[in-house]
Amino acid sequence: MTRARALLVFLLLPVSSLGAELLSIEVDYEHGTYTLNSEVWFDATVEQVYEVFRRWDNSAEFSSVIVESRDVAPDEFGRARFYVRNRVCILFFCWSFERHGYVEFERNQRLLAFADPATSDFHLSDERWQFVARDGGTVVTYDWQMKPKFWIPPGIGPYVIKRKLERDGGSAIDRIEAIAQRVGDD
């Protein structure tokens, strides 16, 4: 009887944490500018999650739309820089686009990325990530304001972008979490 009880207790114990969770996502469009806001919880420390996002070289490892990404030598002001090339297909529309820009940051708290319109496929592309410890993990709040130089159908653009992110974003956040959990193991 004791063995059966021990087996029952063992089977009822959780075998793993809940894992990464998309808490919210909003996509809006107004006057040619898209705004994306999302919040994700990761089962990893702020330091681990921050390290994943800080290194642009990691981006292609967790995002299926990023074809190429890398950290670039600092600019003349000493700011960290990045390069990203994406390929995205939504319904029957496909786009390839590049972003070149610079990064500002407060270690383990905030990252800001600004694309240079002269060398990017965006008139505007400003991104912000905020990192906060919560519930034994990390919540990342992401805000992206973009005005592409390429056409996205405004009538369906926000809806389709949001659906694609909700549908495909889960595997990306799981990969981010897996990479973050390895940080510090090397």
Res 101: pLDDT:
97
More confident residue, 158 or 86: 86
Q: How many CB atoms lie within 10 A of CB 103?
A: 19
pLDDT at 94 over 60: yes
- Largest interatomic CA distance in the chain: 74
Res 109: pLDDT:
98
CB burial of 133-158 (b: ≥16 within 10 Å; e: otherwise) equals eeeebbbbbbbbbbebeeebeeeebb
Query: How far apart, in whole angstroms, are the C-alpha atoms of residue 25 and residue 143?
Result: 10
3-12, 41-50, 147-156: segment of lowest average pLDDT: 3-12
pLDDT at 87 over 70: yes
More confident residue, 101 or 91: 101
Query: How far apart, in whole angstroms, are the C-alpha atoms of residue 63 and residue 71?
Result: 16
Mean pLDDT calculated for residue range 96-121 = 96
Domain ranges of the chain: 17-182
Instruction: Provide the whole-model pTM.
Output: 0.83
Res 82: pLDDT:
97
Q: What residues have CB less than 8 Å from 180, skipping those under 6 apart? A: 42, 44, 45, 48, 49, 51, 52, 138
**How far is residue 125 from each of residues 21, 60, 74, 93, measured CA to CA in Å?**
25, 19, 19, 20
Q: 66-84: per-residue pLDDT in tens? A: 999 999 999 999 999 999 9
CATH architecture of 17-182: 2-Layer Sandwich (3.30)
Q: pLDDT band at 185, cuts 50/70/90?
A: low
pLDDT at 152 over 80: no
Q: Supply the DSSP string of 59-96, one letter for each residue.
A: HHHH-SSEEEEEEE---TT--EEEEEEEEEEETTEEEE
More confident residue, 113 or 168: 113
Token representation of residue 185? 């193991």
